[in-house]
Structure 1
Amino acid sequence: MEAASLYQPLDPMSHEIRLLRILPPQNDAKTLDCLLETVSLDTSPKYFGLSYEWGKYAPEQPHPKVLVNSQEIPVKANLALAISRLRELGKDERYWIDALCINQEDDIERAQQVRIMTRIYENSSGVYSWLGLEDGKNDKVADFVQEFHQTFTVRPSRTNTVAREMLNWIRPKLSDPSCQEHWEGLHELCERAYWRRVWVIQEIVVAEKRQGVHLLCNSKEMLLWPFHKLVFLASEVTFSAPYGSHLEPWWAISRQLRSTSMVISAIIRHAEVWGEQQLDEYSLGLLRLLGDHARAQCTDQRDNVYALLGVSLPYEGLWLEINYSIPVSQVFLNAAQYIIRGSKSLQILLHYGEHSSKLSNLPSWVPDWSGTHSDPSMIT
């Protein structure tokens, strides 16, 4: 497939984007027929965003064939399954899906779209997060989360006692053998590689407080906030438990959930601050976020900076160029200079020597944000 035959240039001045419409199944149910159309964000189009893990491209793994404007597109299996799940929702909606709505072969367009990605997700009607296919255990987890959500429809806050009531609901279920499978399923979902993908941070942070994030897993759907709150509070039970509780079976479950939910909790904390518009250096400075999300993974190491830029404190009068044609070391140098000028601080020097860098041409005072946890199979 030639990109030029599918993608016509977008007008950045009109803030144009492409949207994907998933057509109802035709004669061949295994084929996913889709249409791409170009719209301007200035016209307030209606659409949903899709958040997912790109993962490895495995042609041998069975998955539906994707046709876009009658052209077959060699997408990765996980995306094909996500599109198939969106079609099952039966909604006549349009979706913004990065792998298909951006011409990935055009570095200039890619940079332009990344620059407005925060606005793309802000203007969406919501975000669907595809967690992938698994066994039937996760269907039961979704039912468990739904039961929790129906019991507590109001989010906890500083002015209500909902969190305490939630804990009282959770404690007996931690020690209930009939709920053991539910907790194991929650733990497994928290361990998904999806949560460690760097672009997930922006996709969730921007949409969570404004429109909400819907988690899709197998045939079930659940909202992100009750999913996280159930896991988070279950992991906190040990802090208020009486002496000797560490000998109880539920103690191990709680501790296990705490270790696996830390990455999700960091994203949720980011989303809460962003939703309250507490745009200050301490909470949302780019240097702070690069530290908070240091374990996020990507293939293109430039995205370790670019993915967080749109959900960080903007510095008035300063501009950090998004450019996929320059070396990673130059991106990190540009980001370091941007942080120093914007924060009017040399705090970045505290990171001197924190990580040994394998990048060539990286000054010693510039942190190596490529990370030691990047996985080449994780593509942003």
Structure 2
Amino acid sequence: MASGIFKYTPIDRSSRQIRLLKFIPNVGLGDNLIRCYLETYEISQCPSFIALSYTWGEDSPGHKITLNRRPYFVRDNLWAVLCVLKSLIRPDLEPTNMPSITGSMPIDQQFNSKKLWNRFWVDAICINQQGDFERGHQVNMMRDIFSSADSVIAWLGPEYDDSNLAMHSLFHLPDRDWCPGYWGEYEQELKKSEKAIANLFMRPYWSRMWIIQEFILPSHIFILCGQLSFWRSDSWLNFTRLPETATEQKVVGKILPGYRSYWRSCSPYYHQRILHLLLSTFSKWSCSDPRDKVFALLGLIGDITSLSIPRLYPRTPVPLLADYTISPREL
């Protein structure tokens, strides 16, 4: 291993470059250290990749991996999902289409001999979080990143609080609205998993500001919790059909999946005019940087260069872009 900690090579901010993470097999190395390599691409020329949607957590980075053969440290939740993703990589196979998942089962069984593409976009690693200019540059590309990804993995976290039961139940939601007695045998099964489903919806993932656009923008969302997963473009929309007692959190169980369906049915013309609605709808979602209350929603607006900030620049309005060099008060 090369000496010294990992240092980022600057991205060309005059272009539309992004970095992608690739796992390096541990063949013959005799340990379980996660080894990765960062590659830089023009987004229009990227190979197939998967974007990761997850929560950072409040802990300090304490898990060691390597990037380009140099030490790099990540937080607990990211470490957990990297371990799962690494176990899926088949370096001996070429990329194939994403498998069509037919149920909630152990993720390694779902993939069998199929390969999960060995290129990922993970914000905490692929963006130099210490560089304000780069952060702004990459945040302004979030719409393109999550729209260009072949799929998005929504990592809900490790298995606990009967999440396996909840995942099984949610996958098998009937494709029709709920009313007492109408779901037949499934209604009895739902009662058994009611608390587990409520606990799943109360996880920190659902209250994070950044997951709003990460959940709404992609065509396909691959849901991963512990070792269980399913992948269908429409599964999460069925959450709006759950009875209130099955979620206990109307904001999570109804608004976000419902808004995904609503937003995707609207025209791009409408997307450019809904910033005020987004700010109101998702005002209670959390983020560590108050500026992200606005920046985390810009990807849903469409052509953000058509918006401007006349109060901050009264003489010459400028496009509303993510800019971490300005203060929350200025924003």
Under a length normalisation based on structure 1, what TM-score does the superposition of the two structures give? Answer: 0.69
- The alpha-carbon deviation at position 136 of structure 1 amounts to 7.4
| Partner Cα distance (1:53, 1:164) in 2 | 31
Pick from 213, 229, 253: which aligns with 2:221?
213
Native 8 Å contact 1:48 1:126 kept in 2:
yes
Q: Name the aligned partner's letter for residue 140 of structure 1.
A: L
Alignment of 1:236-251 (within 5 A): none
Alignment CA distance shift 1:231-1:68 (3 Å):
same
Q: Alignment length, in residue pairs?
A: 291
What is the deviation of 1:283?
9.2
The answer to whether the 8 Å contact 2:48/2:117 transfers is no
How far apart, in 2, do the equivalents of 1:304 and 1:164 lie? 33
Match of 2:112 in 1: none
Structure-2 separation of matches of 1:2 and 1:273: 49
The answer for unaligned runs of 5 or more in structure 2 is: 90-115, 309-318
Q: Which residue of 1 aligns with 2:315?
A: none
SS in 2 for 1:294: coil
Fraction of identical pairs, as percent: 26
The answer to whether the 8 A contact 2:239-2:253 is kept is no
The offset of 1:167, in angstroms, is: 7.8
Q: Secondary structure at the match of 2:330?
A: helix
Q: Which amino acid aligns with 2:276?
A: L
One of 279, 286, 295 as aligned partner of 2:275: 286
One-letter identity of the residue aligned with 1:86: L
Instruction: Flag the 1:206–1:167 CA change in 2: closer, same or farther, 3 A.
Output: farther
Q: Given the alignment of the two structures, is residue 173 of structure 1 paired with residue 186 of structure 2, yes or no?
A: yes
Alignment correspondent of 2:154: 129
Partner of residue 107, structure 1 = 132
Q: Find the counterpart in structure 1 of residue 12 from structure 2.
A: 11
Q: CA deviation at 1:234?
A: 2.3
**AA paired with 2:213?**
Q
1:1-380 pair list within 5 angstroms:
5-26=6-27, 27-58=29-60, 65-90=64-89, 91-135=116-160, 137-148=162-173, 162-164=175-177, 170=183, 172-174=185-187, 176=188, 179-207=190-218, 210=219, 212-223=220-231, 228-235=236-243, 254-255=244-245, 257=247, 259-279=248-268, 285-312=274-301, 314=303, 316=306, 318=308, 319-331=319-331
Determine if contact 2:21/2:39 at 8 Å carries over to the other structure.
Answer: yes
Q: CA deviation at 1:262?
A: 2.0
The higher radius of gyration belongs to 1
RMSD of aligned Cα (Å): 2.8
Unaligned runs of 5+ in 1: 153-161, 236-253, 332-380
Q: Does the aligned pair in 2 maintain the 1:282–1:288 contact within 8 Å?
A: no
Structure 1 residues 104 and 282: alpha-carbon distance in aligned structure 2, compared to 1, 3 A threshold = closer
In structure 1, how many angstroms separate the alpha carbons of the residues matched to 2:288 and 2:245?
31
Matched residues in 1 for 2:125 and 2:44: separation?
A: 21
Q: Name the CA shift for 1:271/1:59 in 2 (closer, same or farther; >3 Å).
A: closer
Conserved 8 A contact 1:167-1:233: no
Give 2:94's aligned residue.
none
Secondary structure class of the residue paired with 1:328: coil
SS at the partner of 2:137? Answer: helix
Deviation larger for 313-322 or 27-36? 313-322
Residue 14 of structure 2 aligns to a residue whose secondary structure is helix
Cα distance in 2 for partners of 1:42, 1:322 equals 21
- What is the alpha-carbon distance in structure 1 between the residues aligned to residue 192 and residue 24 of structure 2? 37
Q: In 2, Cα distance between the equivalents of 1:169 and 1:67?
A: 53
Amino acid at match of 1:74: F
User: Is the contact made by 1:118 and 1:311 (CA closer than 8 Å) also made in structure 2?
Assistant: yes
**Structure 1 pair 287–59 and aligned structure 2 pair: CA distance change class (3 A):** closer
* Cα distance change of structure 1 residues 328 and 120 upon mapping to structure 2, 3 Å threshold: same
Deviation at 1:82, TM superposition (A): 1.0
Normalising by structure 2, report the TM-score.
Answer: 0.78
Give 3-state SS (helix, strand or coil) of 2:183's partner: helix
> Structure 1 residues 51, 282: closer, same or farther in 2, change over 3 A?
closer
Shift of 1:132: 0.7
Shift in Å at residue 256 of structure 1? 5.2
Q: Secondary structure at 1:327's aligned position in 2?
A: coil
Deviates more, 1:305-314 or 1:190-199: 305-314
**2:4, 2:227 → 1: CA distance?**
34
CA distance in 2, matches of 1:185, 1:169: 22
CA-to-aligned-CA distance 1:45-102 (integer Å, 9 cap, x gap) = 2100000000022567xxx532111222121110011111111223342000000000
Greater share of helix: 1
Letter in 1 for 2:172: E
1:224, distance to aligned residue in structure 2 (A): 6.8
Distance 1:12 1:301 in 2: 24
